[in-house]
Amino acid sequence: MGGCGPTPEDLPSVRRKVHGAAMTWVRTGVICAAAVSAWLPTAVAAKADSSNDFLAMLSAEGLNVGDTPTDVQLTLYEGDAICHLLYWGYTPQVAARQVPYAFPNATPAQVTGFVHAAQTTLCGTMFTTPLQTGGDY
């Protein structure tokens, strides 16, 4: 016996097969984990880039989104809500009605800029075409 438990040679025949199958699953899991860990930073970086671009556009419009991580998170949530409204077929003017709930002191120009910034940076390809009523399903 080894120091950390039985080696595969010390196990009975059936247990050796089970041990071998389990080790195959473990190896597969390790390979998958390595692949995901290699891919994940690129996916997070893409989201971070669009979020940073969105926040930069808002700052350029003169809209103060706050300094705390919670403020930034709420601003990004609001931008995501605008994208969903646009995707569901609402016009930018109607979607803009949502902005003053999060930014009550925003000017009309800043509200318009908020919607434009969301459309330009956050909405992406998933939200470019609004849902259409009717049609084949």
- pLDDT tens, position by position, 21-79: 555 655 554 454 444 444 444 333 344 577 888 999 999 988 888 889 999 999 999 99
Range of the domain at 42: 8-127
Is residue 1 one of the residues assigned to a domain? no
Overall number of domains in the chain: 1
Which of 103, 20, 13 has its CA nearest to residue 58?
A: 103
Tell me the C-alpha distance between 73 and 85, whole Å.
18
With 70 as the cut, is the pLDDT of residue 102 above it?
yes
Phi and psi angles of residue 85, each rounded to the nearest 5 degrees, phi first:
-60, -45
pLDDT, position 67: 83
Is residue 135 one of the residues assigned to a domain? no
Q: Mean of the pLDDT values across residues 8-24? A: 59
Model pTM score: 0.57
Hey, is 65 helix, strand or coil? coil
Burial of residue 12, with CB atoms counted within 10 A of its CB: 0-12 exposed, 13-18 middle, 19 or more buried: exposed
With 80 as the cut, is the pLDDT of residue 130 above it?
no
Tell me the C-alpha distance between 41 and 35, whole Å.
11
With 80 as the cut, is the pLDDT of residue 19 above it?
no
Is residue 134 one of the residues assigned to a domain? no
Higher pLDDT, 2 or 100: 100
